[in-house]
Structure 1
Amino acid sequence: MEQQQQPNKFVKWIKNSSAARMIMIGFLSLILMIPLMYIEGLIHERSYRQKSVVNEIGKQWGNEVVVYGPILKVPYKVFTETIITDKKTKKVTTETIERIKYGYFFPNKLDINSAINPEEKKRGIYTTAVFNSKIDINGSFDSIDFSKLEIKQENILWNKSKVLLKTTNVKGVNSVLSININDKKLGLSSANSNRHQDNGYYTLETDKFSLNELQKNTKSLKFRLDFDVRGSKEVRFIPIGKETTAQITSSWKTAKFMGEFLPFNPDKINDNGFDAKWKILDVNRPFSQQHFNGLPHLNEFDFGVNFKIPVDEYQKSERSAKYGFLVIVLTFLVFFLIQTISKINMHPFQYLMIGLALLMFYTLLVSISEHSNFLKAYAIASISVISLITIYAKNILKSIKFMLLIGVSLTVLYAFIFIIIQLESYALLVGSVGLFLILATVMFVSRKIDWSNS
């Protein structure tokens, strides 16, 4: 008989004890964290898939466009002496070894004008931005000075000079590349097709030409370079001119200016797109106009425009999923308080169904946001889940008053989470204040509950 009474006492304790219900709710909340982690993994997977498709479209159309140049390249001779001792005769001789090195000279004046015509490309449910751009580069080389190296004039190979241009995107170039220097047209061709050996750049060079011939009537070398290129994601330039001016115009309305330098004109954004202007002097960046030990990697000093479509649905979905545990616990807490106050019994299975319904919100949010904007997806998913749980609560709690309380509580909770997701700078402040108000409300509602008899 004693063995038959023990289960009855245990079941009675589970049904009537607030402590037992609290333990059960805590256990279910922890169990529901497992599918919540799977949902977060699903969001990561979909986000990775979206990035893969965007990168694939970019590779086929043309990747980002970064322009580094034009740069004047002048070879010169250096001599080193090596002492050689004959092993048999012990005779000592001196051998002079000649090597060719290169001096690289940046323009004194560099003026860049770029008109960009963007468009959207779709593959399945994913969309990215690509563009056609027309880039005009003008400027001049005014000072070509080897005095720092104390090189004799006869050791400078002026007649083997070249002009080179570095860019990350040659696949998208759709016009014949040439540069006009003092009215002499010189073609540019690929001299280095392996971008991984040159910090991600392709190098385009002219044929050899005589610098002295081009400087017969003037010391200045004026150049002009025009080309059309297709690309995606962004357009960037490196300000190698002693004075660099740039202007980028486009009809794209969601562009983001990026890099070390921002446009100086306050009216850069308009109803038709943007018209951004830059002016950068040599004193604004820490590198010289002449280099004799190879070209430096200067991407950290670039500037330009990003044309990515602002796709943040996955990021917002991921942020909302991080609040999943909070939503589950607070929803269970509302049901627990109603159950304690009204003395209505709820089975653990009913709590489990409510928790699973809350998890369905995130799968609905991710799937709908892939075909619509985040606001609409959030509204549809939250209304669906709130309606489902509210109707379910009506059948459990047998009261219109409690059903409305559940509906209002969930509506406030999901609205609170949505506001936090939209905020960036004030997310922590609003979240802290909101949680404080929720705690105060729970303390106020539960202040008259006699826990000793529960």
Structure 2
Amino acid sequence: MEQKKGKFGNWIRNSISARMMIVGFLLLVLLIPLEFVKDLVRERSYRQTEVVQEINSKWGNEVLLSGPIVKVPYKTFKEIRTYNEKEKTYETTSKESILYAYFFPDALDIASDVTSKPLNRSIYESVVYSATMKVTGQFPKIDFSKSDIDPKHIMWEKASIIIKTSNLKGIRNTPLVTLGSQTLEMTPRYDKKYLNTIESGFIETPNELVSKKVSFSYDLTINGSESLKFLPIGKETTAKMTSNWHSPSFDGNFLPDDESKEISKDGFHASWKVLQINRQFEQSFFGSLPNLEDFAFGTSFIVPVDEYQKSERATKYGFMVIGLTLLLFLLIQLVSKIHIHPFQYIMIGLALVMFYTLLISISEHSTFLKAYAIAAFAVLALITLYSRAILKGFKFPVLVCGSLASLYGFIYVIIQLENYALLVGSIGLFTILAIVMFASRKIDWGTD
């Protein structure tokens, strides 16, 4: 029995196939703590998202803004026919209800200056902004002739101006709309139907709207985060946006003009021009105002890839780092005939896993580059000194240190790249495979 155990032990110790199976099994075992690290990165990232959303909700969330809209109430009458049981006849009554007509401007021009700044809570940071806007334009002559509404049922004396927005909390001033010869103060309406809407008092001289085109203007200061977008309700809508934010994402249904778009490390400038023919809705609505958010355009103030995203991308290469490092030690073992115990493989693998926990924890208090450099240096020093103890001499520990340093440097480059990450990664992996094939060409694989 002891002889059989001895033969099995010698086979494990001397067989290349056995050692390869053991290293492969240990690699699979090390995936367990690596998965725990990935869960840790996701948990910390979710926590950051929660804190950022809380900061944004108190400062002001994303902003979606329309220009001014003329709202004119009108009466409608509906005949209701009921059966009288006593008289055995039908009676007809008329029920009056109030509906509204909405008229959009012919010209709408929005000039916005957006100043972004960071807000911190503990170790987390959010980017918010304050936008100062000058809105000008012109309403056409208000015309009901295309509708079947009786002119005497139009309630001109209760006409008003409304402005739709997604963020009442962020408004920092009381907008005063200059409409023709009068100034209207905008206030919010407590009504589910007009949620996120500010409305003026009744227009004192509504006859101006009927007799001629009327110009309007107002200033608005609003706090927000994430994005600033506009609804192109003008027959011709133009918008200009200037900001100190260096990483904008122009999105929505319309993109800015290429000639006007300028982006630098100091900020950006962009201009839009949207015509009525470019979007699929008319300039007036009767009865109700539809949801036009799908036609919005503007800018998202995106945060470039943060530390958690970079750490998550780094952990995705964890299997490759651990696998290649264990493979390197296996090749050294086969070439040098130095025995490396499975426990020593486990210690090396756990040291490689510790790199990611160091990276996450340090990057929460410093830049990703500094965290990456400190974590990589610590793990390199630890594994190199450990290799010196188990491999003897200096040749193989220096090889391990150089190989691991090159691997960490290669992964850092891939993490920083966006458009060329796949290309560089593929070339790098091909190069690594070629090196492994070249290094293992003289190993006698017949020993079993």
Distance 1:428 1:87 in 2: 81
**Bigger CA drift: 14-23 or 90-99?**
90-99
**Bigger CA drift: 120-129 or 420-429?**
420-429
Partner in structure 2 of residue 289 of structure 1: 283
**Bigger CA drift: 258-267 or 8-17?**
258-267
Partner in structure 1 of residue 242 of structure 2: 249
Deviations 1:276-304 (A, max 9, x none): 22221112222221122422222222222
Letter paired with 1:260: N
Paired residue secondary structure (1:344):
coil
The answer for unaligned runs of 5 or more in structure 2 is none
1:166 aligns with 2:203: no
Question: Equivalences for 1:392-431 in 2 at 5 Å?
Answer: 392-431=386-425
Kept in 2, the 8 Å contact 1:158–1:211? The answer is: no
Partner in structure 2 of residue 221 of structure 1: 214
Kept in 2, the 8 Å contact 1:241–1:282? The answer is: yes
Kept in 2, the 8 Å contact 1:128–1:308? The answer is: no
| C-alpha deviation, 1:240, in angstroms | 1.0
Alignment counterpart, residue 68 of structure 1, candidates 61, 66, 69: 66
Paired residue secondary structure (1:405):
helix
Paired residue secondary structure (1:453):
coil
Partner in structure 2 of residue 144 of structure 1: 142
Partner in structure 2 of residue 33 of structure 1: 31
| C-alpha deviation, 1:404, in angstroms | 1.8
The answer for unaligned runs of 5 or more in structure 1 is none
Alignment counterpart, residue 325 of structure 1, candidates 316, 319, 327: 319
Distance 1:305 1:55 in 2: 18
**Bigger CA drift: 47-56 or 297-306?**
297-306
Q: Count how many residue pairs are aligned between Structure 1 and Structure 2.
A: 447
Question: Equivalences for 1:28-427 in 2 at 5 Å?
Answer: 28-192=26-190, 202-209=196-203, 212-215=206-209, 218-264=211-257, 265-266=259-260, 268-269=262-263, 272-427=266-421
Deviations 1:114-161 (A, max 9, x none): 222322221112222223322211111104333443222112222221
Paired residue secondary structure (1:451):
coil
Kept in 2, the 8 Å contact 1:192–1:202? The answer is: no
Paired residue secondary structure (2:418):
coil
Distance 2:141 2:439 in 1: 81
Distance 1:103 1:215 in 2: 13
Paired residue secondary structure (2:189):
strand
Partner in structure 2 of residue 9 of structure 1: 7
Deviations 1:345-393 (A, max 9, x none): 0001100000001001111111122222222222222222122212211
| TM-score with structure 2 setting the length | 0.93
Distance 2:219 2:203 in 1: 20
Letter paired with 2:12: I
**Share of identical aligned residues, percent?**
50
| C-alpha deviation, 1:328, in angstroms | 0.9
Deviations 1:196-238 (A, max 9, x none): x76xx5111112235643347x511221121222223332211
Deviations 1:53-81 (A, max 9, x none): 21122122222222123111112222222
Letter paired with 1:345: H
Letter paired with 1:98: E
Q: Are the structure 2 counterparts of residues 309 and 429 from structure 1 closer, same or farther at C-alpha, using a change threshold of 3 Å? A: closer
Kept in 2, the 8 Å contact 1:108–1:143? The answer is: no
Distance 1:243 1:252 in 2: 27
**Bigger CA drift: 108-117 or 265-274?**
265-274
Letter paired with 2:342: P
Q: Are the structure 2 counterparts of residues 271 and 23 from structure 1 closer, same or farther at C-alpha, using a change threshold of 3 Å? A: closer
Paired residue secondary structure (1:269):
strand
Partner in structure 2 of residue 23 of structure 1: 21
**Bigger CA drift: 65-74 or 226-235?**
226-235
**Bigger CA drift: 61-70 or 323-332?**
61-70
CA RMSD after TM alignment = 2.1
Distance 1:193 1:122 in 2: 35
Q: Are the structure 2 counterparts of residues 56 and 135 from structure 1 closer, same or farther at C-alpha, using a change threshold of 3 Å? A: same
Q: Are the structure 2 counterparts of residues 426 and 225 from structure 1 closer, same or farther at C-alpha, using a change threshold of 3 Å? A: same
Paired residue secondary structure (1:192):
coil
Paired residue secondary structure (2:446):
helix
Letter paired with 1:436: F
Letter paired with 1:149: S
Letter paired with 2:239: A
Deviations 1:151-201 (A, max 9, x none): 22112222221211111222222222221211211121111376xx76xx5
Letter paired with 2:154: I
Distance 2:245 2:191 in 1: 32
Letter paired with 1:32: L
